[in-house]
Amino acid sequence: MLAEQPKNPLHGITLETVLTSLVAHYGWAGLCQHINLQCFFNKPSIKSSLNFLRKTPWARQKVEELFLNLPKP
């Protein structure tokens, strides 16, 4: 059973949802300007970016921080 995490704003949100939201908001070029990662610049795709982000904690943290700073509707 998963423990609840009331103070974790990303609880229940998948990395794919985070990345898809950022791409929808900024586009790949805009996302690359905010976070300079090769996976956003060279033939970007959700699948390849997810593979990189899952293996690279510091990059994942930057993506999650950018997501948390998105303007709320």
At 32 the pLDDT is 93
Where in the chain are the domains? 13-44
Rg (C-alpha) for the chain, rounded Å, is 13
Higher pLDDT, 24 or 9: 24
Q: What is the pLDDT of residues 29-62, one digit of tens each?
A: 999 999 999 999 989 999 999 999 999 999 999 9
At 7 the pLDDT is 84
Listing DSSP states for 38-62 in one string gives HHHHSS--HHHHHHHHHH-HHHHHH
